[in-house]
Amino acid sequence: MKSKKSQIYKEASTLPSIVPPWLAAVLSAIVPGLGQALARAIQRGLVIFFSFISIVGLLIWRFTDAAPRDEGAFDIIRKAFRLEPIFVLISIVFVIFYIWIIIDAYQMAKIAGKPEKRKPIVVMVFLILVFFVIGWQIGQIDVYAFVTKFGDAFPAISRVLWPWERAITYPEEMWMGTAALETPCDDTQPPPTEPLDDKPYLIVDPTCGIPSIQVDQEDNSIEVIPGTTIHVEGYNFTPDKEVEIWWKDPAISQFRHREGGDILRVIPDEKGYFETEITWPYRLIPDSYLEGGANWELQGRQVTTIGDWEFSAELKMAIEKMIETIFIGMMATFFGIILALPFSFLAARNLMRTNAFTLGIYYLVRGVLNIIRSIEPLIWAIIAIIIVGLGPFAGILALVVHSIAALGKLYSEAIESIDPGPIEAVTATGANWLQTIMYGVIPQIIPPFVSFTIYRWDINIRMSTVIGLVGGGGIGYLLTQWIRMLDYSAAGIAVWFIAITVALLDYISAEIRERFV
Amino acid sequence: MLEIRNLTKIYEDGTLAVDNVSFTVPDGEFLVVIGLSGSGKSTLLRCINRLIDPTEGEIIWNGEDLAKLEGDDLRHARRKIGMVFQHFNLVDRSSVLTNILTGRLGYSKTWPTMLHRFPKVDREKAWQTLERLGIEDQAHKLARELSGGQQQRVGIARALMQDPELMLADEPVASLDPVLAHSILQHLEDLNQEDGLTIICSLHYLDLVQRYSTSVIGLKEGKLVYQGTKKDIRNMTDEEFKLIYGEEAIRISDTSLEGSLGEVVEQ
Ligand SMILES: Nc1ncnc2c1ncn2[C@@H]1O[C@H](COP(=O)(O)OP(=O)(O)O)[C@@H](O)[C@H]1O
Ligand SMILES: [Mg+2]
């Protein structure tokens, strides 16, 4: 038995083409799809026409986007090819598609009226191919970069995965030895530093000189005339531990010494002694500081840890914010429940269908709840931040609004699915209204309510970390800050806390649900 | 004595469920209401304890018209009328004990019951009732964990906690298999014969009707079409039966139910 569809198909294809094959091909070359349409493959012609138009549109957009400063089709295309070689591929596929359209029109006209098969699959394959290549370019997919630069992420990822070195710190103490210098050299130059017994000190030679000078050249470049070279010796430093060389200039600002652009690193030997040569650096100092000889100070700084480890500030902050997050979720759930309850009764069909008025309220409440629920908490957070400013309260508000809608719907469905039988039975015993609610209604709705509430609490805590990202307080806020500061270890601590909390919560909610439901 | 006079119930959608029905039930009677599904049995029973408000008519019980009662008076009247349901109507997620204590709600102060507190006497009574129905082992289980037969015993126990003078049973055995049906009906028979409890029970199977009833009424499309004694129903003819159950009806004793019935009855 032949299906009706194939019969219609056959009838349509029994008609011969309106135009000869060569004309169909020419027409399709001018207006892609026209040849097919005239060959009685109207659908095929339409699909080809509209796809062709949209592909051309997309190509114009992408090419001009790739070469925005060029004018003229030829320049634009050449520039685009050079900048992004994928355009070459796109163009090749496009040209093949165009040629195929012409050939297809010829064939369509030829087989029109004959029982030969038309293959819509080829059209589909071509369209998918063209759109795929364009999509690849629009999506700026760069597998090469992804693969080759994947390794770059390892330091950051490894710090996120194991951030715990950052969880503890050792209290630090700065160990500093100094030497005085003066500029320019006059008869009252500072004496050499007095040696000390148990504290580090520096001895410089000479103790006076001139700093480097910068001279502006005519061609706007800057020439640096090096200052006096100073021989520095350090004594009594902690052995084998890096010493940082710092300057205190006459304007009392302190800065780290650089030699040839790089930070100078010196490591004292086992006796705590080192020596090095440095060039007196350039410093832009207001004239008022230079009258009657300016005093400089050279410092050798060593940071050493003293005493036992302690928890780092980051860890403490992460814990505090995690607790804040849990409470944001809790408060949001709490207010969500309280406010969702009245709405849930109004949104329960079995309670509201008694007359047209209450049914109207039912539809209204249902509709509003649905609209609120369909807006992401993130967007509510942004609105709340506008009203109450950054911080946990904004996060709570956003989650409360969303919870009311979500819980209201779930609760109302629980109420709708109540079995009226037990209520009838309790009423029949002579119980009053309150007793009937307590013994006939509550036991039926408590398990689903508890279940939905825990589910919501779970969601709210997870959401509150996300809401923190836009400034709604909690650990999410901290996490974004740390990520922006590229402090991946600290961010890792936050990520760990979030993961642990969510996992714990999952476990707890599953347990509670098992007990109650 | 319960006297129903010209009772009519028309539902909001216009369905005439009970049509001008009158009959009397002397104390100590085991009255069985028969009729096809949809003939108005449930509506009639629910009008008596006012789970459904009758449209017209009087329900005179102990000299009081139940149809006119409101508020506390109605609740006080309900306390004395126990009810057993086809689908048991237990609170699934409450314990058996709580379900049974529910029967005392009408006698208890509201606030203690909000905290699930019942007087000691009520608790003792609950255990006695459980024992009487042979389900004391199940007391702390959730109602939904019980089998159908056990659930219906809980339903009877709940009604008994009310110290009822009248027991309404709306197809109490329709969701049970025949053997269980007999054990449940025997409990009701017990209450009827030993405690002198008046029982109004709707039943589907003629065999059960013949076995347990002391008198019978038949409903068809809301109208009272049959009234008979135990003796009448034993001698009921096919014509009379068809009047109630419709033209295509056959005697239910012809069906396979007979076998299991016979066994239990003989024992
Ligand atoms: N709440 C209701 N609203 C409208 N019609 C109802 C309602 N309950 C029952 N009915 C109708 O009333 C008639 C009697 O029903 P019912 O008393 O349940 O009969 P039975 O218990 O004998 O099967 C039936 O036609 C039924 O459809
Ligand atoms: Mg019924």
Average pLDDT over residues B170-175: 91
Regarding the beta carbon of B130 and ligand 1, being less than 6 Å apart is answered no
As annotated, the residues of chain A forming the CATH 2.60.40 domain(s) are 171-307
Question: Quick one: pLDDT at residue A14?
Answer: 67
Highest mean pLDDT among A252-256, A511-515, B160-164, B261-265: B160-164
Regarding the beta carbon of B155 and ligand 1, being less than 6 Å apart is answered no
Nearest partner of A303 among A247, A238, A233, judged by Cα? A238
Q: Where on the phi/psi map is residue A391: left (φ > 0), alpha (ψ -120 to 50), or beta?
A: left
Average pLDDT over residues B227-252: 69
Pairwise CA distance, residues A388 & A403, whole Å: 19
Q: Compute the distance from residue B41 Cα to the ligand 1 centre, in Å.
A: 8
| Residue in A424, A429, A434 nearest the CB of B103 | A429
**What token pair was written down for A367?**
């509709």
Average pLDDT over residues A97-102: 92
Q: Which residues contact A233 (CB under 8 A, 6 or more apart)?
A: A202, A203, A204, A205, A273, A274, A275
Query: Percent of chain B at pLDDT above 90?
Result: 67
Pairwise CA distance, residues B149 & B130, whole Å: 14
Q: Assign domain A313-516 one CATH number from 1.10.730.10, 1.10.1530.10, 1.10.3720.10, 3.30.390.10.
A: 1.10.3720.10
Q: What value does the mean pLDDT of chain A take?
A: 86
Band (A68; pLDDT cuts 50, 70, 90)? confident
| Residue in A422, A426, A435 nearest the CB of B110 | A435
Average pLDDT over residues B45-62: 94
- In this structure, the residue with its CA closest to atom 14 of ligand 1 is B40
Pairwise CA distance, residues B202 & B252, whole Å: 15
CB of B102 within 8 Å of a chain A CB? The answer is yes
Say if CB A509 and CB A455 are below 8 A apart: yes
Say if CB A17 and CB A24 are below 8 A apart: yes
Task: Identify residue A75 by its one-letter amino acid code.
Answer: D
**What token pair was written down for A456?**
């919501």
pLDDT exceeds cutoff 70 at A40: yes
CB contact under 8 A, B94 and A421: no
Question: Quick one: pLDDT at residue A187?
Answer: 75
pLDDT exceeds cutoff 60 at B260: no
Band (A386; pLDDT cuts 50, 70, 90)? very high
CB contact under 8 A, B51 and A432: no
pLDDT by residue (tens digit) across A405-437?
A: 999 999 999 988 899 999 999 999 999 888 988
- In this structure, the residue with its CA closest to atom 12 of ligand 1 is B17
Q: Which chain B positions have a beta carbon within 8 Å of A431's beta carbon?
A: 75, 102, 105-106
Q: How many Cβ pairs within 8 Å bridge chains A and B?
A: 84
First to last CA, chain A: 56
Q: How far is CA A245 from CA A194, A207, A274, A302, B125, in A?
A: 19, 16, 12, 9, 93
pLDDT exceeds cutoff 80 at A260: no
Query: Percent of chain A at pLDDT above 70?
Result: 97
CB contact under 8 A, B90 and A429: no
Task: Identify residue A493 by its one-letter amino acid code.
Answer: I
Q: Which chain B positions have a beta carbon within 8 Å of A426's beta carbon?
A: 91, 102, 105
Question: Quick one: pLDDT at residue A421?
Answer: 93
What phi and psi, each to the nearest 5 degrees, are found at residue B51? Answer: -65, -25
pLDDT by residue (tens digit) across A120-148?
A: 788 888 889 889 988 988 888 888 888 88
Regarding the beta carbon of B38 and ligand 1, being less than 6 Å apart is answered yes
Question: Quick one: pLDDT at residue A137?
Answer: 87
| Residue in B78, B91, B92 nearest the CB of A439 | B91
Q: Which chain B positions have a beta carbon within 8 Å of A434's beta carbon?
A: 110, 114
Pocket of ligand 1, candidates B11, B12, B200: which has the most ligand atoms within 8 Å of its Cβ, to mutate?
B11
Question: Quick one: pLDDT at residue A354?
Answer: 67
Band (B102; pLDDT cuts 50, 70, 90)? very high
| C-alpha distance from B257 to closest chain A C-alpha (Å) | 28
Band (A5; pLDDT cuts 50, 70, 90)? very low
pLDDT exceeds cutoff 60 at A84: yes
Question: Quick one: pLDDT at residue B45?
Answer: 95
| Residue in A419, A426, A444 nearest the CB of B105 | A426
What phi and psi, each to the nearest 5 degrees, are found at residue A199? Answer: -125, 150
**Structure-token match 């349509």, residue found:** A12
Report how far Cα A221 is from the mean position of its chain's Cα atoms: 42
Q: How far is CA A410 from CA A368, A405, A413, A421, A445, in A?
A: 14, 9, 5, 22, 11
| C-alpha distance from A440 to closest chain B C-alpha (Å) | 7
Q: Give the number of the ligand closest to the Cα of residue B221.
A: 1
pLDDT by residue (tens digit) across B21-44?
A: 999 999 999 999 988 888 999 999
Question: Quick one: pLDDT at residue B48?
Answer: 95
CB contact under 8 A, A439 and B85: no
Helix (H) or strand (E) holding B9: strand B2-10
**What token pair was written down for B36?**
């096809």
Q: Which residue of B has its CA nearest to A437?
A: B114
Pairwise CA distance, residues A360 & B254, whole Å: 53
Strands B198-202 and B30-35: parallel
Q: Which chain A positions have a beta carbon within 8 Å of B83's beta carbon?
A: 425, 428
As annotated, the residues of chain A forming the CATH 1.10.3720.10 domain(s) are 313-516
Q: Which fold has domain A171-307?
A: Immunoglobulin-like (2.60.40)
CB contact under 8 A, A434 and B110: yes
Say if CB A123 and CB A107 are below 8 A apart: no
